[in-house]
Amino acid sequence: MPDMNNKKLRIAAIAGDGIGLEVLPEGVRVVQAAAAKHGLELEFEYFEWASCDYYLKHGKMMPDDWFEQLKGFDSIFFGAVGWPEKVPDHISLWGSLLKFRREFDQYANIRPVRLFPGVPCPLANREPGDIDFIVVRENTEGEYSSLGGIMFENTENEFVLQESVFTRRGVDRILRFAFEMASKRERKHVTSATKSNGMAISMPYWDKRTEAMASQYPDISWDKQHIDILCARFVLQPERFDVVVASNLFGDILSDLGPACAGTIGIAPSANLNPERNFPSLFEPVHGSAPDIFGKNIANPIAMIWSGALMLEFLGQGDERFTAAHDEIITAIEQVIASGDVTPDLGGKHSTQEVGAAIAGRVSAAQ
């Protein structure tokens, strides 16, 4: 374990668009409260690009030297991106988040799914503890590629081709990450999302590599499930899952469905990891920029705050102070949700800032 004492960690804070501008400050507030309590040296630097307003001014989502500006940071704390009335979503996403994920090789997208006390669950007869699993999504290749094109555009013979890309290196490393994660969890089980009965080339290859990887982890149980029935079982049998590993597209779908099954996407966090730490990893809420509620001070900051807890855990590399900071943030989130002092999406009447302050206060007061 590396010595984290007296090391100042640099965090790039990027609010982005919409409610990202409102929830990011609350995430920073809580992370700083935990850092101050445990003597962690953190330095936040703020950037106004990777936003649609920046695009409208400059014709691009980020400056040309964005990579050089950010590569020296230890992590990126990101709010949300997108405002389709200003900039088409494919431009804003490909011009910012997808650049971060690919050029910083953030190939492991981690999205915890957990039912908290006080969050109404849409699934019948489910209680906290029944839903507690992690979706591990491949984040840099797969179905989300820029390979393809359009021929005979605007004619009756119009032809559209979109390629998927699965490399042995890319598939193996995300599978290895998932099995390693499962080895550290109590249930030690991996479920692989596939569709090899319909996608006759890429998914049989995915299955083959999964079986090969599983052979290296004899203490980890595993199964594979086709994406359609897997989605159904998220709803019908969420308690059966521990670590779910999936390709880019399937992981994207599952990591929204999972939090919805646990009551709300509004509190779901995510981590875009470069596990080798050659580049900064990025931590962001699963929810989008929600322009429709921007400016009302009702956005739920919990996903941003939970993402901050994930960031501290990753930055700490096993350092007990960072682990304690992570755990205290999660406990504070649980306590605030259970108290009912929450935003309207969870049935409360509190503002974004009030919820952030309540969680920060509980972190500071934790014994």
Domain-wise residue ranges, the chain: 1-108+265-367, 121-262
Indicate the pLDDT class of residue 3, thresholds 50, 70 and 90.
Answer: low
Q: Are 273 and 315 in contact (CB under 8 A)?
A: no
Q: Are 355 and 337 in contact (CB under 8 A)?
A: no
As a whole number of angstroms, the distance between CA 282 and CA 280 comes to 7
| Tokens found for residue 143 | 């179905």
Domain 121-262 sits in CATH 3.90.1330.10 = no
Least confident of 80-84, 89-93, 145-149, 324-328: 145-149
Q: What is the mean pLDDT of the chain?
A: 95
Indicate the pLDDT class of residue 173, thresholds 50, 70 and 90.
Answer: very high
Q: Cα–Cα distances in Å, from 333 out to 197, 240, 297, 310, 330?
A: 42, 25, 19, 13, 5
Indicate the pLDDT class of residue 4, thresholds 50, 70 and 90.
Answer: low
- The pLDDT tens digits for 271-294 are 999 999 999 999 999 999 999 999
Say whether 121-262 and 1-108+265-367 share the same fold.
Answer: yes
As a whole number of angstroms, the distance between CA 358 and CA 361 comes to 5
Say how many Å lie between the first and final Cα of the chain, rounded: 25
pTM recorded for the entire structure: 0.93
**What pLDDT is stored for residue 367 in this prediction?**
72
- Choose the CATH number for 1-108+265-367 among 3.40.718.10, 1.10.1660.10, 3.40.50.300, 3.30.465.10: 3.40.718.10
Mean pLDDT, to the nearest integer, of 149-168? 95
- Residue 327, pLDDT > 90, answer yes
Give percent of the chain above pLDDT 70.
Answer: 98
